[in-house]
Every structure is written in C-alpha cells, then in structure tokens.
Structure 1
C-alpha cells in the first residue's frame, strides 16, 4: 500500500471525515531535506470532520499527527494539515 493510501485509510478510520484529500507534494520539494526518489515524502492533508468540533487548532493537528505517528517516523518527512469546516464548503 502506498503512503498516500495508508494516510487516507488511517484518517478515514479514525475521524470518519465528511471530506478528506491527501496530496503528495513531494515533487515541489525536489532536492530539499527528506526528499527521496519516488516521492511520498511531503504531504498535504485537507480534512473536514465533526471529530474536531470544539478542539483548538493545535489539538486538531496533534490528533492527526498521533494517528500518522508511524508514517511520520518512517517515510513521511513533512506534513501540512488543513482543517476545513465540517459542514463545508470544500474546494
């Protein structure tokens, strides 16, 4: 399973998001620290879920990072997290 698929599966299972987009941005980081041939090192996660209602932005990001702990320790060098409103709109 690719890192992209693993990230999607883990976040979907944990948070049941109304919207989830996992974008591999590794190509934008060619030659930077953590970049590897084949990509899957730099990601952007866009997620909307009621699970985050009432949580601070820091707590939301920690929750995502906790779920992806193994990936962050192994293959993923960088992760940008965008928490969107649970009821949309999403672009």
Structure 2
C-alpha cells in the first residue's frame, strides 16, 4: 500500500470527509531538509468534513494528526487546508 493510499484511508475512516484530496509534494522539496529520498516525505491534504464544525484551527490539525497516528513519524511535512463539509 502506498503512503498516499494509507493517508487517504486513515483520514476517510476517521473524519468521514465530504471532500478529500491527498497530494504528494515531495518532488518540490528534493534535496531540501527532510527529503529522505523516498519521494514520500512532504504531503498536502485538503479536507472538508462535518467533524470539523465548531472546532478551532488547532483542534482540526490535531484531529488530522490523531487520524494519521504512527504515519506522522514518517512524514517530514504536512500542510493542510481544512474546512467543514458545508464550506467545501
């Protein structure tokens, strides 16, 4: 299973998103700090989920980190665009 699939499945299972996009941006960081040579060190996710309703930005980020669990140990950088399902 690829890292992209793992990230997608864990976020889908934990957050029941109405929209989810997982992008590998490692190529933009080749040779930079955190580039482990695997091509799977830098990620960007766009998530719309009703689970985020009423939550602060920090709480939403914590929810994503918790959903990814041990996967966060292998990710150098994770950027996020998080919104409620209504904001899409």
Give the alignment's TM-score, normalised by structure 1: 0.89
- The number of equivalent residue pairs is 88
Instruction: Tell me which stretches of 4 or more aligned residues in structure 1 moved more than 3 Å.
Output: none
Q: Superposition pairs for residues 60-71 of structure 1, below 5 Å? A: 60-71=60-71
Unaligned runs of 5+ in 2: none
Q: Look up the match of 1:38.
A: 38
Q: Look up the match of 1:83.
A: 82
Which piece of structure 1 moves more, 61-70 or 46-55? 61-70
RMSD: 1.2
User: Helix, strand or coil for the counterpart of 2:23?
Assistant: strand
Unaligned runs of 5+ in 1: none
Q: Look up the match of 1:48.
A: 48
User: Helix, strand or coil for the counterpart of 2:38?
Assistant: coil
Q: CA deviation at 1:11?
A: 0.3
